[in-house]
Amino acid sequence: MQVAESNQRTAQAELEEYSTSAEAVRREYARLINWAELYEGNPFEAKKMIVAQFVKAVYVRRDYELEIEFNVSFEDFRSLCANEAGKDNKKVGTAMLRPTA
């Protein structure tokens, strides 16, 4: 009986942690959508300022290799978009871009 109660408490704690995390991701998604709406129809200078909110750093290396460090990881953003599309519903990431030729 004690084992079952312990498992229930553990599961409840995990559920609360996931709920808190999901709410934080939803807030971040709403912020991203607001930036996307703001981005449309703005002049180039304003667009640069908006992009600066998402890009933490850009590193240029030999052979045209770029490393772009974002303030939001692509995996987090992609999974949130999939969740939002499904219901119609902390970590900083980097992306590597390399020339195709």
Domain encompassing residue 76: 2-97
* Of the ranges 29-33, 74-78, 89-93, the best mean pLDDT one: 29-33
* Number of structural domains found in the chain: 1
More confident residue, 99 or 63: 63
Q: What is the pTM of this model?
A: 0.38
Confidence at residue 97, expressed as pLDDT on a 0 to 100 scale: 43
Smallest CA-to-CA distance from 80 within 19, 29, 20 is with 29
Terminal Cα-to-Cα distance of the chain (whole angstroms): 64
What's the pLDDT tens digit per position in 12-50?
999 888 888 888 888 888 877 777 777 787 889 988 887
Sheet with 94-97, edge to edge strand ranges? 55-61, 65-70, 94-97
